[in-house]
A and B are shown apart, each in its own frame.
Chain A
Amino acid sequence: MELNAITIGFVVFSIFTLGGGFGVVTTRNLFQGTIWLMVSLFGVAGYFVLLSAPFLAAVQILVYIGAIAILITFAVMLTRSVTRIKSRYVRLVPSFIGSLALFLVLLLGITVPIFGGQLPEAAPETVATTRDLGAALVDENGYVVPFMLASVLLTAAMIGSIFIARDENA
């Protein structure tokens, strides 16, 4: 593995992703946890750029940092008194052992060829563009049905969450 822009980017974004993820599960302060979550998801967006899916990276930042981060902060503020937004842990040891075991099993499956077969080392040269994705999403042999369903789901989620979170007394 030679040292070039992509490998440097990979290392940097790995630090973002895993460091942020570690921050999410270890900080007791929920607001800081939200910020760590955003750091982690920013790293994931960086991966998408490295994997030549820039559209997904932009949508990732727009959806998570632009919308979900704000939603979570509002939820954190609305469900706790602002000055003590600490959270507690339960089952700390069993869940740590369980998730560590899960990670080791997954790592084994990835790295040992017996389980996963030989993984490709290099990616093909040709890459689909955002234009191809757009065409595929509305192609009747492509993803037009899931696309429609997704828009129905979003509308339903929007109406549903407004209805659920509405205060009847107000």
Chain B
Amino acid sequence: MDELCTGLCRLMVDSGADAGLAQFMSLLVGVLLVSGVPLLTVILLIWIERKVAARIQDRIGPNRVGPIGLMQTFADLLKLLGKEDITPTSADRWLYNAAPLVSFASVVLIWAVVPFTPFHYGVDLEIGALFFVAVASFGTLAIMVAGWASNNKYALLGAFRVVSLLVSYEVPLVFALLVPVLLAGSMSLLDIVNAQTGMWFVVLSPLAFVIFYVSSQAETGRAPFDLIEAESELVAGFNIEYSGMKFGMFFAAEFLHVFTNGILMALLFFGGWLGPLYYESPLIAFGWLGLKGGLIYLTTLWLRNTVPRLRIDQIMAFNWKFLVPLSIANLILISAALKALQEIGWAPRDFVGAGIGDLIPTTIIMLLINGAMAIYLLGFLRKRGQEARRESLTARAALAQAAAE
């Protein structure tokens, strides 16, 4: 009981409260905080996303409600709440109403294992990284259920497309996620961050970061993988029958998922809260994490608004013929190199507590391996691109000839 009862709980016991009650209350406060932070951030995120998208598209964006449009999201929220809450007559009532909740919960649950600072986290699971992947699979199921329960052909077709996309991109995501786990020798997110005191994992394995970045962009259904929305060609996909706040839940889940992935990438590859003076105050540590996560989040917005959407067959071919083999090869190479380096004593057995000096040989060799792979890959992609261009040129010439005749 004693080791479970610290901080707020201790305070309540000291002021005369019942120990069990105090522990329960402090746990409740913790749960509310951990789930409240993402709920509040999502309101801000929607505003940021709309502003950034507007600037990239040479617009102004929301600017009417509140100062510089900050209150726009609340207005939208009120609008969504005021809308008619439709459940189609032939829909599966229970599943139809449960799907948005599960979808949103699957994202909020991830925050249970996110450590905000070295001492402030929901729970430090020994399987933290695996937990995040497992919880994300609820989101996939929710989309499938939403598509089926709406009893609408377009919703079902949209759900099929999205689910096949999500299931496929989970493979490279997990293989890339295994690289930080391998380097840190632990699946706990706290340990993974602590193992990066010497060197961030993004330096040791930039390729794994790129794979993780690309596949998490696909997991959240953002351009160039935004088959989920595909506004211009599909009728909104799986959520076509949803209205009002139920649609809002899917919407908020997507926005929050993007930011959550930014925070996760900051934790897994950019050293989380590590930065100058992080040990001085939890606020500084939290600030570093927020800054890194926010920057990664901004790059995903940038990417989303600058690249065109791919076709589904292109997306699938890119995943299965390029990303999956690459992620497997990357994992094998990294693990073999790490083991070899540890055997000859150039790399530390345990990254926790290793200083930057201990990691210089490891870093150089890992960077060389990654660079060699990157050069090969760029050459490969260049060749493929040239072939594709040549094919399209011949096809166009054939068409022109046919037209002339």
- From A32, A54, A61, A74, give the contact of B125 (CB < 8 A): A54
B98's nearest neighbour on chain A, judged by CB, is: A35
**Complex Cα gap A73–B153 (Å):** 15
- From B125, B126, B130, B141, give the contact of A65 (CB < 8 A): B141
Q: Are B130 and A66 in contact (CB under 8 A)?
A: no
Q: Does B22 contact A (CB under 8 A)?
A: no
Q: Are B141 and A69 in contact (CB under 8 A)?
A: yes
Q: Are B141 and A38 in contact (CB under 8 A)?
A: yes
**Complex Cα gap A54–B135 (Å):** 13
Q: Does B210 contact A (CB under 8 A)?
A: no
**Complex Cα gap A69–B134 (Å):** 13
Mark contacts of A90-126 with chain B using CB atoms, 8 A cut-off: 1 yes-contact digit, 0 otherwise. Answer: 0000000000000000000000000000000000000
Q: Does A62 contact B (CB under 8 A)?
A: yes
- From A32, A77, A130, give the contact of B95 (CB < 8 A): A32
Q: Does B364 contact A (CB under 8 A)?
A: no
A161 to chain B, nearest CB (A): 14
- From B127, B141, B153, B186, give the contact of A58 (CB < 8 A): B127
B219 to chain A, nearest CB (A): 12
A54-B125, A130-B127 known; A62 and B134 CB under 8 Å?
A: yes
Q: Are B126 and A129 in contact (CB under 8 A)?
A: yes
Mark contacts of A53-72 with chain B using CB atoms, 8 A cut-off: 1 yes-contact digit, 0 otherwise. Answer: 01100110110011101100
Q: Does B140 contact A (CB under 8 A)?
A: yes
Q: Are A70 and B131 in contact (CB under 8 A)?
A: no
B139's nearest neighbour on chain A, judged by CB, is: A66
**Complex Cα gap A131–B184 (Å):** 13
B141: A residues at CB distance < 8 A: 38, 65-66, 69-70
A73: B residues at CB distance < 8 A: 144, 148
**Complex Cα gap A38–B99 (Å):** 14
A70: B residues at CB distance < 8 A: 140-141, 144, 163, 167
Q: Are B127 and A55 in contact (CB under 8 A)?
A: yes
A76's nearest neighbour on chain B, judged by CB, is: B148
Q: Are A35 and B95 in contact (CB under 8 A)?
A: yes
A16: B residues at CB distance < 8 A: none
A153 to chain B, nearest CB (A): 18
B174's nearest neighbour on chain A, judged by CB, is: A62
Q: Are A65 and B138 in contact (CB under 8 A)?
A: yes
- From A35, A61, A131, give the contact of B134 (CB < 8 A): A61
Q: Are B126 and A82 in contact (CB under 8 A)?
A: no
Complex interface residues of chain B between 114 and 161 (CB less than 8 A to chain A): 125-127, 130-131, 133-138, 140-141, 144-145, 148, 153, 156, 160
A77: B residues at CB distance < 8 A: 156, 160
Q: Does B170 contact A (CB under 8 A)?
A: yes
Q: Are A66 and B127 in contact (CB under 8 A)?
A: no
Mark contacts of A11-23 with chain B using CB atoms, 8 A cut-off: 1 yes-contact digit, 0 otherwise. Answer: 0000000000000
**Complex Cα gap A88–B304 (Å):** 48
Q: Are B144 and A58 in contact (CB under 8 A)?
A: no
B49 to chain A, nearest CB (A): 27
**Complex Cα gap A129–B185 (Å):** 13
Mark contacts of B326-351 with chain A using CB atoms, 8 A cut-off: 1 yes-contact digit, 0 otherwise. Answer: 00000000000000000000000000
- From B95, B130, B136, B144, give the contact of A55 (CB < 8 A): B130
Q: Are A59 and B140 in contact (CB under 8 A)?
A: no
A37 to chain B, nearest CB (A): 11
Apart from A70-B163, A73-B144, 5 more pairs, CB < 8 Å: A65-B138, A66-B137, A66-B170, A69-B141, A129-B126
Interface of B toward A, CB cutoff 8 Å: 92, 95, 125-127, 130-131, 133-138, 140-141, 144-145, 148, 153, 156, 160, 163, 167, 170, 186-187
**Would you give 12 A-B contacts (Cβ < 8 Å), ordered by A?**
A32-B92, A32-B95, A55-B130, A59-B134, A61-B134, A61-B135, A61-B138, A66-B134, A66-B137, A66-B140, A67-B137, A70-B167
